[in-house]
Amino acid sequence: MINPRPGGPPVYLQLAEILRTRIVTGKIAAGQALPSERTLQQEHALGRHTVRKAMAVLRAEGLVTFVRGTGMVARERAERQRLVPPAGAAVLTRMPSSEERDEFDLDDGVPVFAVRTPEGSEQVFPGDRWVLIWPG
């Protein structure tokens, strides 16, 4: 139940927590649609901005994707490809630039690996589709 008392957590974070719980516990399975904006507004007696802000939180966490005309969908966990970087490489993680989001067709809330070789070149890998493996 959402509690709008002052001093407490913001309403949109309370709603995000409710939805997050449903997703991570599997009550809403991957690929399955979540309640629409309107439904959430009516069920919890909230304004549209508040509902959208809660949804934006989940999107930024990479838990959901939005499909226009369909709604908010719990994100599928893609199979990850294994990558062994070259010897001496340095690996950073960060959010992608807008160009990188376009190039790799990344959802909101998906970071990237940036692999820098000793020679100085940098290659970018979408964080939701790769796992880095250490030798050994």
Partner DNA sequence: CGAGATTTGTGCGTATGTATT
Partner DNA sequence: AAATACATACGCACAAATCTC
Residues that bind a second copy (CB under 8 A): 13, 17, 20, 56, 60-62, 80, 85-98, 108-113, 118, 127-128, 131-136
Among the listed residues 77, 78, 80, 108, the one whose alpha carbon sits nearest the alpha carbon of residue 95? 108
Q: What own/partner pairs with CB < 8 Å and gap ≥ 24 does 96-99 have?
A: 96/124, 96/126
Note whether 111 binds DNA by CB under 7 A.
no
- Least separation in angstroms between residue 53's CB and DNA is 6
Note whether 1 binds DNA by CB under 7 A.
no
User: Per CB under 7 A, which of residues 27..56 are in contact with DNA?
Assistant: 34, 36-39, 45-50, 52-53, 55
* Rounded Cα distance, 27 and 32, in Å: 10
Cβ atoms of residues 109 and 59 within 8 Å:
yes
- Least separation in angstroms between residue 35's CB and DNA is 7
Q: Please name the residue that has the structure tokens 């990237």.
A: 112
- Least separation in angstroms between residue 34's CB and DNA is 7
* Rounded Cα distance, 98 and 86, in Å: 27
Partner whose footprint covers residue 31, from a second copy, DNA, none (CB < 5 to 8 Å by kind): none
Partner whose footprint covers residue 111, from a second copy, DNA, none (CB < 5 to 8 Å by kind): a second copy
* Rounded Cα distance, 41 and 109, in Å: 24
Q: Which residues bind DNA (CB under 7 A)?
A: 4, 6-7, 10-13, 34, 36-39, 45-50, 52-53, 55, 66-72
